[in-house]
Structure 1
Amino acid sequence: MATIREVALKAGVSVATVSRVLNKSDTVREQTKQKVEQAIRELNYEPSVLGRNLRNSQSKLLLILIPNISNPFYTKIIKGIEDTVIEKGYNILLCETNSNPKREAIYFNLVRNRLADGIISMDPTVDKEKLYKLASNYPIVQCSEYDESGIIPYVSINNELAAYHAVKHLIKLGNRKIALINFDEKFLYSRERYRGFVKALEEFEIPVNKDWVYHTDKLTFDSGQQAMRILLTQKEKPTAVFAVSDILAIGALKELNEQGLCVPQDLAIVGFDKISFSNMTNPTLTTVSQPMYKMGCLSAEMIIKKINGEKVNSCMLEHELVIRDST
């Protein structure tokens, strides 16, 4: 592969002149420019994108922090991010943290060392103190899970209101014995969705039955199935379940099917997120739809604006309750 020095030698100019031609500088005479371009063609020279980016103090690389790449919730968001940044000359690197502080440190150092220009964090398990500290000097945006104090700009939905609408739907169908399958409440969205669940019950003067509130330790199909299995062992059984994630809801639905119960006749169920699998279950799953692709597009636009020194504001998007056969 030819080097920039070889191009300069063949064209009879300095390396700096070749560099100015490559960077489309208008300070190079047309005759000199043509000689350099001819030498580039003859030598089949390809300039180093990395070298050019480093000279411009930009890597054109964005880090996307997610806790687990297997979670289908992130798929459409990532697609929105990728479609948006590629159009603007950027690339993305998916960074699966697995809630591991050592991995986080590696990704944060990529930004500190200018090997990446910024971070879009979708990881609810990230070390918030370290993320806030990094955000004071480098471009960071949060997507879905966000910072309540407003230190870092974010794109999300009103999780409490969305959960309230989902549970209110179950109540209006005649259900007063409603269970909740929740994830760990150290995560903001779990706390917010719990508050929405309680708000709907209180509005209709329905007490919260602590025996019907189950917290899983993992966000997996198996965890949802286990949660439903335990709820069905209660002396007094619920007639409906609100799960804070479609993954948990689909696992719960599997357990109901295995026990020969009819949904929604024996027990209605509502999920959250509208992942692609939610329309493939039997019966199809009623769920809260988040505008995941749009969330990805907006978070990508925000991070590029921050990289360019522009001010960005946080954004709350609308949700939608998608009513299907499980209610």
Structure 2
Amino acid sequence: MITIKDVAKEAGVSVATISRVLNNSPGVSDETREKVLSVIKRLNYNPNLLGRNLRRMETKMVLVLLPAISNPFYARIVKGIEDVAQKNGYGVMLCNTDSNIERERMYLELLKNKLSDGVIFMAPEIGEEELNDIGEKYAVVQCCEYKEGANVSHVSIDNYKASYKAVKHLIGLGHKNIGFISCKNNFLSTKHRESGYKKALEDSEIEFNPDYIRYGDYSFKSGFRAAHGLLNDFKEITAIFAISDIMAIGAIKACYENGLKVPDDIAIVGFDNISFAPMYNPSLTTVSQPKYDIGCTAMELLIKQIKNKGGHRENIVLEHELIIRQSTVK
């Protein structure tokens, strides 16, 4: 097994110089640095990065806690996180919490035991007080979903405005009886999307009907069931807005099984602009979140906190876009 001493001997420099090159420290000429790196490559030397980083109280590893790793919405966000992490020498550990608070706490023990330098929450289950306590001691960023009262950095979009814009699009097409497929959870995004739906109706002088709201769990089946119930109970409904693309696609399936054509008989709008939203037939009108940029920004914030040992908290709101496709336009 090749050791650091072997590299030093082959390169004709001290072990300390090899260490400075590995740590990218100053005090080494470009010529010497290139020579050492060439020897490292030729000898195929693999330094013990974990041991070296632990001695410096760093692991170069960050945690990303997701409520459902199977949800395609998170794919581009994670890609953004990983790209920025890799450029800055960090590894990423994906942790599936299943929205289980005890499982979330189990993963957080890795942070508390100094096996990770920081954590990105996609949808924290722990309460604001516990989140604040962790945020005071460690590098923490909330991504997409966040606790409004927590003094912890977050990156998201304005879900209220995004939902409002989506419903106003339907109203602009002449729809007044608009069903809404939401979720029963404590997510702030859900609350804001419901508020945006109601406000768009109010501003257009359309009476809000609470029975037009049905609930799913972000799955295709739940979107199908919710839409099926709406269509059976209210024949006058001519449009449905779902707070996720997966549920919206389930709603389209329910429409077809009820003998309705999309968009000829009924319009459907989703949320998130997942990768296969434009591939579905009909292609799905949806609110697009800048998922890759959200991931990049979250990781950049986390690295800033790691380097500054905490520091100033930042809340960043990125722009959304309503993408109009075949599911609403005849």
TM-score, length-scaled by structure 1: 0.89
Distance 1:37 1:265 in 2: 65
Deviation at 1:10, TM superposition (A): 9.6
Q: Is residue 134 of structure 2 the alignment partner of residue 134 of structure 1?
A: yes
Cα deviations by residue, 1:222-268 (Å, 9 ceiling, x for unpaired): 00001011111114431111111111101111111222211112111
Distance 2:44 2:172 in 1: 70
Deviation at 1:286, TM superposition (A): 0.6
Q: Is residue 90 of structure 2 the alignment partner of residue 105 of structure 1?
A: no
Partner of 1:275: 274
Distance 1:28 1:262 in 2: 70
Partner of 1:75: 75
Q: Is residue 323 of structure 2 the alignment partner of residue 322 of structure 1?
A: yes
Partner of 1:248: 247
Distance 1:64 1:111 in 2: 11
Gaps of at least 5 residues in structure 1 are: none
Distance 1:23 1:57 in 2: 14
Partner of 1:237: 236
Of 36-45 and 201-210, the range deviating more from structure 2: 36-45
Distance 1:37 1:212 in 2: 65
Q: Contact 2:129–2:150 (CA<8 Å) still a contact in 1?
A: no
Q: Matched residue of 1:276: which SS?
A: coil
Q: Contact 2:131–2:150 (CA<8 Å) still a contact in 1?
A: no
Identify if the C-alpha distance between structure 1 residues 69 and 164 changes in structure 2 by more than 3 Å, giving closer, same or farther.
same
Partner of 1:49: 49
Distance 1:132 1:27 in 2: 40
Deviation at 1:283, TM superposition (A): 1.0
Query: How many residue pairs align between the two structures?
Result: 325
Deviation at 1:85, TM superposition (A): 1.3
Q: Matched residue of 2:197: which SS?
A: helix
Q: Matched residue of 1:140: which SS?
A: strand
Distance 1:321 1:24 in 2: 45
Q: Matched residue of 1:278: which SS?
A: coil
Q: Matched residue of 2:233: which SS?
A: coil
Gaps of at least 5 residues in structure 2 are: none
Q: Contact 2:164–2:196 (CA<8 Å) still a contact in 1?
A: yes
Q: Contact 2:66–2:97 (CA<8 Å) still a contact in 1?
A: yes
Identify if the C-alpha distance between structure 1 residues 23 and 248 changes in structure 2 by more than 3 Å, giving closer, same or farther.
closer
Distance 1:325 1:22 in 2: 54
Cα deviations by residue, 1:138-180 (Å, 9 ceiling, x for unpaired): 0001111122125111111110011000001111111110110
Q: Percent identity?
A: 50
Of 137-146 and 180-189, the range deviating more from structure 2: 180-189
Identify if the C-alpha distance between structure 1 residues 8 and 274 changes in structure 2 by more than 3 Å, giving closer, same or farther.
closer
Q: Contact 2:163–2:197 (CA<8 Å) still a contact in 1?
A: yes
